[in-house]
Chains A and B, each alone.
Chain A
Amino acid sequence: MKPLSFSLNGVQRNITVDDTRMLLWVLRDDLGLTGTKFGCGESICGACTVLINNEAVRACTTPMSAVAGKRVVTIEGLAHDARLHPVQEAFVKHLGFQCGYCTSGMIMGAHALLLKNAKPTRAQIVEEMEPHLCRCGAHVRIVQAIESASAAIAGGAR
């Protein structure tokens, strides 16, 4: 067990934890943030995607030692003052989900993409989102949602 500090959704957290444990389970079991999902446990499906220092990472294989001193943003940290983030808004508008289980990871992956490339082409969206799995087949609408979010952000939405 080690004391460890990091920023979680904009709030400084100081916790004592076995730092070989994975971020996913610390978020879900210790910190009660269940929006980040378990899907495969091996960084294959993308359901557990969160942002660490604005980079998309898989929380299921990220040990807490890699989190120390970093900024972590989860799906719960995306909406501000009850206002949805443009990516979330676009997923609602385009119905970029069905069962909703992959959705947190999809939105965080899309958010990370738009942070580094505000105006991705359709091919770039497909390439970036390729590691994210969705079994319901919402892909077509997810791509539309990301294009729409990109346009909204370019238009000044935050």
Chain B
Amino acid sequence: MNRENDIVELPEGWGFVKTLDRRDFLKLTSSGLLVLCVIDPLLGTAGAMPAEAAQRAALDFNAFLHIGADGRVTCLVGKVEMGQGIMTALPQLAAEELDVPLSSVDIVMGDTDLCPTDSGTYGSLSVRVFGPTLRAAAAEARTVLVQMAAERLQRPVADLDVRDGVVVSKTDRAKHVSYGELTAGKRIERRLDGQAVLKQVGAFTIMGKSAPRRDALEKVTGKAKFAGDIAPSGALHARILRPPAHGATLVRADTSAAEAVPGVRVVRDGDLIAVLHAHRDEATRALALVKATWSPSPSTLNNENIFEHLQKVAPEGRPTVKGNVADGEKSAAQVVEQTYLKGYVAHAAMETHSAVAAVENGKVTVWAGTQTPFPLKTQVARALNLAPEKVRVITPYIGGGFGGKSASMQGIEAARLAMATGKPVRVVWGREEEFFFDTFDPAAVFKIRAGLDAAKKIVFWDNTVIGAGARGSAVFYDIPNHSTTVRGGWGGGNPSDMHPFGVGPWRAPGANANVFARESHIDVMAAKAGMDPVEFRMRNLTDARMRRVLQAAASKFGWSPKPAPSGRGFGVACGDDAGTYVATMAEVKVDKSTGKVQVVRVVCAQDMGIVVNPEGAAQQMEGCITMGLGYTLAEEVRFKDGVVLDKNFDTYEIPRFSAVPRIETVILDSPDLAPQGGGEPAIITTGAVVANAVFDAVGARVVQLPMTPARVKGAMKG
């Protein structure tokens, strides 16, 4: 598809994230049509109301979609915009089902007082899982409005059509009424009952077409507000005393010199010691005057010995088994065994964790750069011992999340300090705090044994995954006997001494490491079989969807079969994530004297079901590939005895312009599958595709991420 030509011109006055205060909201919703949804208390996500749940009185209803007398549609969603583009894609869904122009749809996001409860923006769920609910709300609204129009126009429903928010009689074009006219002066509530019928793909006019990004104008003019840009009158900046190492505890702190600085306030609230000033830089200077003594950290771990440690302390896992590995091994002509390693990786969003909190009439409002506004609201209420309705979290634009802003400690800090001082407080972490308190993508170890029979079919696969978790570890090749044991992950269930600092979800959590190990090992086996890596995969793959994606990538790349190492520097890797299938091919150049890898070209093909916004989806794929080159080639958090040695971007190198290859994306036409995830899948193959291309270039297998020049040189020496 030609996406460039699909982009429409930016309409005047387009976009701008809507913010409403409670009074505006009540005014807005005092008339018009409201489609309500129920909060599923188990899922914690907004969804259609199950029949039996409708009977339960205690359920919390909240508006979901509103159509006003002016014909404007307002979507209220608990999701947040962090660059992934859902403030553009979600209104597309609503506009499509309602048959209104996209420009008449507004969106309010991530405001806990106005939007339906939501567990958070992660896991590529917004379009895939939340999308159908929003579409159902819009479809429900359309049904109600058409019924009202039928009465108003004295025409049967079957005779009515909707164009641009106007209901028109098909047989008598003079008979028409707009949505706005229908809702004017009325207040109509409908509850979503799960019965709404969604449009079929063939009827789409807005979904499937690239829409201009709603955040564009604000973001190129500097008007877009991020949490740290919110400046209530009289606000103070807080800089917080931080330990030098994880595991270090405060012995004593002398804050007298800081307190003597004019305009400075010091708060000591249990474990929280903060220096506040109206200017952030002056608060920073004053914080440096605090004399603190810390106990040393008991940690003896570092980025070298961590892999031994993980193997020792990771919890035992239960294997997921198909067939019998021992039986499979008996029919194997060749057995290949390899250990793969990956270090800790930082989220390193350009915006550090930021929040502003203000207390008014006993109610705390927190503006936070968070992927989890509703859980943060609960955490703030708990920390301040307040009833939940006394806390409101508002989410402005987020300057990158990638999973790292699922944890929002800065929001709690701001709220505590606002409560303690009675002033609005801004907490903007410094880069060093960001690297210290990040919930890193965990280091991981993989031990894979696998075997081939004489026909070059994989007959068994035995994988132990330590640290990465299960995502991306499932086997989609035709392997009759396989066993995968997952020992610990990023999401909890680990012994407390497993990691020296916090770990958490990092874009496609665990899948990057799992796919690196699996797809590297598949290539090792292809080489052992003396086969071209694509042909080898095809021989062991009957999954029609994956075959189609792999073929699409090969065709775009112009792949011609040759067993590796061919010297060409070509690599391939496949994976599935968030319901999306992805196949990536890369061409690399390796400087044999330095070991430096330059990725020249990447082709990525993806089947993500129905695509809502093709240009937005392509942006996500390009972003995934570019970001993925970081964990692939350079990014690894260095630490020693509880101290995080990387404190800024000078030593922690994320991809820069010169590292970015030519990127070509292919989105397969897949009209029979509902929309799947788009924010994460294309990143999962990056490590493997580059490792396989490096092997193809120089015949050396690098089994540890990141593939630093030293590791590549090491592998070349054997």
Residues of A within 8 A of B (CB): 18, 21-22, 24-25, 28-30, 32-42, 44-45, 47, 74-76, 78-79, 84, 88, 91-92, 95, 97-104, 107, 125-127, 129-143
Contact = CB atoms under 8 A, between A and B. Distances in A.
B626 interface: yes
B349 A38 contact: no
6 contacts: A39-B351, A92-B220, A98-B623, A101-B397, A101-B400, A136-B400
Instruction: Give the secondary structure class of A's interface.
Output: loop
Nearest to B629: A137
Given A39-B352, A44-B650, A92-B220, 14 more contacts: A21-B282, A29-B279, A35-B221, A37-B226, A37-B350, A42-B648, A79-B221, A99-B398, A99-B399, A101-B350, A130-B657, A135-B654, A137-B623, A137-B627
Interface of B: 10, 82-85, 212-213, 215-226, 228-229, 231, 237, 278-282, 348-352, 397-402, 428, 430-431, 615, 619, 622-627, 648-650, 654-658, 660, 663
B349 A99 contact: yes
A38 to B, nearest CB: 6
A38 B222 contact: no
A104 B222 contact: yes
B350 A98 contact: no
B236 to A, nearest CB: 10
Nearest to A129: B657
A21 B213 contact: no
Instruction: Give the secondary structure class of B's interface.
Output: loop
B218 to A, nearest CB: 8
A100 B219 contact: yes
Q: 9 closest pairs, A vs B, by CB?
A: A35-B222, A137-B626, A101-B399, A99-B83, A100-B219, A98-B83, A137-B623, A75-B222, A34-B229
A132 B649 CA distance: 11
Contacts of A137: 622-627, 655, 660
B658 A134 contact: no
B219 A38 contact: no
Contacts of B218: 100
Contacts of A78: 221
B212 to A, nearest CB: 8
Contacts of B85: 98
Contact of B220 (A47, A84, A135, A139): A84
Contacts of A88: 220-221
B656 A130 contact: yes
Contacts of A47: 350
A99 B82 contact: yes
Contacts of B397: 99-101
A99 B397 CA distance: 8
Contacts of B278: 29
B649 A40 contact: yes
Nearest to B279: A29
Given A34-B229, A126-B657, A135-B402, A29 B663 contact: no
A76 B623 CA distance: 27
